[in-house]
A and B are shown apart, each in its own frame.
Chain A
């Protein structure tokens, strides 16, 4: 039996609801985006019913504490086909066991969920560290990113609290949406492809006049704080993997 979902959190929760309502036994969960029709398996397309989804989410809330709910949500943000299966199996396991079952790290789904959530949290933390704002001429701080996982919802409050007195935009170039803070609240924004292209390579006159100076000073600082006698490239790359270098001002040649 195949359960087909559209990839939203709602559809995932409805799949859990359907499984308990229909009791089909072992099912494999597939996401519409990656789905290839199969000849010998019956397919059940999950219908998104908000009230069912709510009921499942509430039920999870009663079974799990805040930390585990966050892990559940983080795993969802990983957006991989494997993560959806893990979430589905985890939810079914939690509902069919006694309270406290989430601590059973011997269960492969529990462990997988904890590990995937950890990966997402790590990516979130890396974004908090590696985002480098550029000040534009109209006094806006901009940064474009393409994280491995969809972490914008997770980093929003961090940047909102931290940069409360400056306008900023963080734009996910891979998923084509971004966050804009206007000194009051954060809102979601979408750019056209054209705008995305100009933003990823801003011209000199679009940037604030001080931007070049501070980027240069930061580059200098990065070099002079290094101790050449202790050079350890392996450790350096381990902490700052090469795929993040494109964000980093200190890795650009100015």
Chain B
């Protein structure tokens, strides 16, 4: 018995690991029925795998049997791998027992499509209902919306899940058509829209009626595979931006493609996953969501790709030197946020602290500003007087000379003559 469950867990956890989302934040469920579990507003990462990704949810597939044959997916029909399926009871008891030992924040349940979309969605729904109603489980549940499932099933699932997600898979329609001819972005947009409308509806009701049940309190997210098809960074981020705006998504995840197939449409087996590119995309995503940048400022027709050797904020600043240097003792908060080397919390501290007197370099360093980077872009009370204006390339070379990229094994610094 225990051997079989070990085997199943290995197969189905292995198949689920390419789903990046692991956040457990935004849940609002309180343990008011003396049951098990209570949401933590910011989420908790209980451990990290050796590749440095957080583990906060028990992330498994209900089954890896699938009727689709998408070239980028390990569980595709034509792939020769071991198949397995959990029963509803098995998933429930694993979740409960892991949660009791403080291993996890909750469950991330996805599934291959077996028979048809409705049948699969019904099984997922059974698991969450049993957890919530019979086991009185108040932990976090992230449920995959199965494209093509009926509206009633999706709406009912939303009453029990904290977050629902559905993957775009490829950043553009043409990329998707190339690798998964049966799928289209429209299949994703329809359920995303449905859930979004319901969330808005329930929120509006909540204002009028006190006891409105929770509906997907942690919102929706999606994921795109990058590096499998030849999209530019601009295409990717513009798609992300559109989805953030149209569906108020909480997160868009970018997953660097890890070669898993010999298909000649895809990168070769054994080639490196695009980790730096992925990192730069996430940095851009953060700049859009927390730093007030518009996607067109960072990526446009002149710069369709992100710089690999410097981060997008620095890259933007070097292209727009006319805004700098910024006097941090008078500049607006929005402008301080745009200085490379200053993050959100430093910017907030600066704005509060400068009411008590002009800030000096030593104070900035203590507050936590990356001064070696920021000094090319700021003026403060005791900034040294500088006669010469440096060019963008020169500033870049100063910063690059001081910092050691974690991705570069050998420093290949090109000499600058002028």
Contacts and interface: CB of A to CB of B under 8 A. Distances in A.
B98 A218 contact: yes
Nearest to A143: B102
Contacts, number: 155
A222 to B, nearest CB: 7
B47 A222 contact: yes
Interface residues of B, number: 59
A120 to B, nearest CB: 16
B321 to A, nearest CB: 28
B194 interface: no
B273 A230 contact: yes
B35 A132 contact: no
A130 B102 CA distance: 8
A193 B404 CA distance: 49
A48 to B, nearest CB: 34
Interface string A125-136: 100111111110
A109 B34 CA distance: 43
Given A129-B46, A133-B100, A158-B40, A221 B9 contact: yes
A221 B17 contact: no
A233 interface: yes
A47 interface: no
Contacts of A163: 36, 100
A108 B37 contact: no
B101 A216 contact: no
Contact of A166 (B36, B46, B356): B36
Interface string A219-254: 011101111111111111011100000001110000
Interface residues of A, number: 54
Given A107-B356, A235-B52, A217 B6 contact: yes
A229 B47 CA distance: 19
A236 B31 contact: no
B353 A104 contact: yes
A236 B38 contact: no
Nearest to A161: B38
A235 B52 CA distance: 5
Nearest to B10: A224
Contacts of B36: 162-166
A226 B40 contact: no
A227 B258 contact: yes
Contacts of A236: 48-52
Contact of A165 (B17, B35, B48): B35
Given A163-B36, A220-B10, A236-B52, A225 B17 contact: yes
Given A164-B36, A227-B51, A106 B100 contact: no
B157 to A, nearest CB: 24
Contact of B47 (A231, A232, A248): A248
Which 5 A-B residue pairings sit nearest by Cβ, starting from the closest? A235-B52, A105-B353, A230-B51, A103-B352, A226-B49
Given A103-B355, A234-B52, A236-B51, 17 more contacts: A103-B353, A162-B38, A163-B100, A165-B36, A214-B98, A217-B9, A218-B101, A221-B13, A222-B47, A222-B49, A224-B10, A225-B13, A230-B256, A235-B51, A235-B52, A236-B48, A250-B47
